[in-house]
Amino acid sequence: MYFETKEFLKHISIDSVVFGFHENQLKVLLLRMKKTNEWALPGGFVKKQETLEKAASRVLKERTGLNDIFLKQFSVFSDPNRSRKNPAAKELSDPGSNSSFAWFSNRFISVGYYALVNFSQVEPTPDFFSDRCEWQSIDEIDRLIIDHNQIINKALETLRLQLNYQPIGYNLLPPKFTMPQLQKLYETLLGKTLDRRNFQRKILSYKILNKLDERKTGGAHKAPYLYEFNLENYQKALQNGLYGGW
């Protein structure tokens, strides 16, 4: 894979927390760095004629194979010493390495984005600096490079706040899902148990779901009904907000 450093701004990077939901677990997409075997978030650089949003979308399309990803900018990470903790920067800026990578050891300000994706649709793809790209459960993530653990924690904190005023689920669940599946997603994101009746009453009051005339197959005799998101109302809720918290 070819990487042309002249195309990019040299002091701004993007780090993305890609969330997926699978088997009742919240997953995060991670990369294993070449040579060091350390793990990192998918990231990249901003081209000189590119907006931050286009750069983030481009990077994630390269890592996931998906277009039109739900992306939200959530914070900026600007510790003056953060680049000194980057093993990839040290590796590439050492004598004997390609001199065009020397700027990797300079200070980088990173813009954080989080993405919500359908786990089953992602095709994890390593980048120029990595040899593996895979999902890891958020509860099992070990120490990552630089400040990437901090970035994940901040993304999750922001996502939990979003649940208080915007719906979440369309990008994380299959097209048809059960109420228990949706509740489990919210409980996983919030890190707490929710009362079943209160959850159902509240989520239905938002008018963002359509109840289908079919039940989940392969389950018990009285399998739960399936639902789908009412996309028109869902989009209105994203724009206008919801009321109440969890």
Q: Are 31 and 124 in contact (CB under 8 A)?
A: no
CA pair distance 191, 230, nearest whole angstrom? 26
Per DSSP, which regions of the chain are E strands? 8-22, 25-33, 39-40, 43-47, 70-77, 109-116, 130-137, 177-178, 209-215, 225-229
177-240 belongs to which CATH class?
A: mainly alpha
pLDDT of the residue at 98: 52
Distance from the Cα of residue 79 to its chain's centroid = 22
pLDDT of the residue at 84: 65
pLDDT of the residue at 95: 46
Q: Are 91 and 36 in contact (CB under 8 A)?
A: yes
Coil, strand or helix at 97 = coil
CATH 3.90.79.10, the chain: domain bounds: 5-162
**How do the pLDDT tens digits run along the chain, 246 residues long?**
445 668 888 889 999 999 999 999 999 999 999 988 999 999 999 999 999 999 999 999 999 999 989 999 999 999 988 876 665 555 554 545 455 556 666 788 999 999 999 999 999 999 988 999 999 999 999 999 999 999 999 999 999 998 888 999 999 999 999 999 999 999 999 999 999 999 999 999 999 999 999 988 765 567 889 999 999 999 999 988 887 777
* Interior angle at CA 236, CA 231 and CA 240, nearest 5: 155
Q: Which fold has domain 5-162?
A: Nucleoside Triphosphate Pyrophosphohydrolase (3.90.79)
DSSP tag of 118: -
CATH 1.10.10.10, the chain: domain bounds: 177-240
Q: Are 171 and 70 in contact (CB under 8 A)?
A: yes
- Give me the count of residues in the chain: 246
Please count the other Cβ atoms lying within 10 Å of the Cβ belonging to residue 177: 21
pLDDT of the residue at 216: 82
Output the pTM of the full model. Answer: 0.88
pLDDT of the residue at 102: 63
Q: Would you call 47 exposed, middle or buried from its count of C-beta atoms within 10 A (0-12, 13-18, 19+)?
A: middle
